[in-house]
Amino acid sequence: MSTLVLWSGVGMAAEVRVETYPYKQVGRLAIQLDVHRFDDELPRPVAVWIHGGALINGGREGIGRAGKELVEAGYCVVSIDYRLAPETKLPEIIADLEDAFRWIRENAAEKFHGDASKMAVLGGSAGGYLTLTAGFRVDPRPDCLVAFWGYGDLVGPWMTEKSPHPAHQGKEASEGLIAEIQNASPVAN
């Protein structure tokens, strides 16, 4: 799907093309990304926007002010979807992230004139966490990471030590869960 949008900024008005691509298929579910860019054929650096929503909601549809400013500055902004919890567990969400970056690197030049050798990653909240995760899980590593309100420490005492709160008694994390979380924590990697 392709859409043209007219944006106007300080002293400028330009047509921005928004195109949707599936980057991964899981069963019947097509996981998609949107590319926001000027409607031209100039090669442009890529900025990946990762939505927030506590890993349980949200979607690729909005790129916010930061994304719009990056498009105006000449970037291709790629906003990705990923499968959401609780139906999808963290390792599969991270696999979606890795697959999105793989698709972008393999297809950016041909599909949307993006230069994936110049890549920034941005995200807010859960998207900020996934932005930080991209810094150690995506190969080659992105050039720039900007995490807005991202949580980077998944192995702090709030997760690994018993809670004194009566409502939490009997709900301690297992050693296996703690090891899995440590593997997914930006601070631990």
- Give the pLDDT of the chain (189 residues) as one tens digit per residue: 555 454 445 445 568 999 999 999 999 999 999 999 999 999 999 999 999 999 999 999 989 889 999 999 999 999 999 999 999 999 999 999 999 999 999 999 999 999 999 999 999 999 999 999 999 999 999 999 999 988 877 766 655 666 666 665 665 666 666 677 777 777 666
- Judge contact between 81 and 59, C-beta under 8 A: yes
- Judge contact between 51 and 60, C-beta under 8 A: yes
Token duo for residue 32: 């998609």
- Judge contact between 49 and 123, C-beta under 8 A: yes
Does the domain made of 2-152 have the CATH classification 3.30.1380.10? no
pLDDT attached to residue 10: 44
pLDDT attached to residue 162: 67
Helix (H, G, I), strand (E, B) or coil at 143: coil
Helix (H, G, I), strand (E, B) or coil at 185: coil
Q: Is 173 left (phi over 0), alpha (psi -120 to 50) or beta?
A: beta
What is the Cα 148 distance to its own chain's centre? 12
pLDDT attached to residue 11: 42
Distance in angstroms (rounded) separating the CA atoms of residues 19 and 168: 46
Per domain, the residue ranges of the chain are: 2-152, 157-189
DSSP 166: G
Distance in angstroms (rounded) separating the CA atoms of residues 157 and 32: 36
Q: Which helix (H) or strand (E) holds 171?
A: none
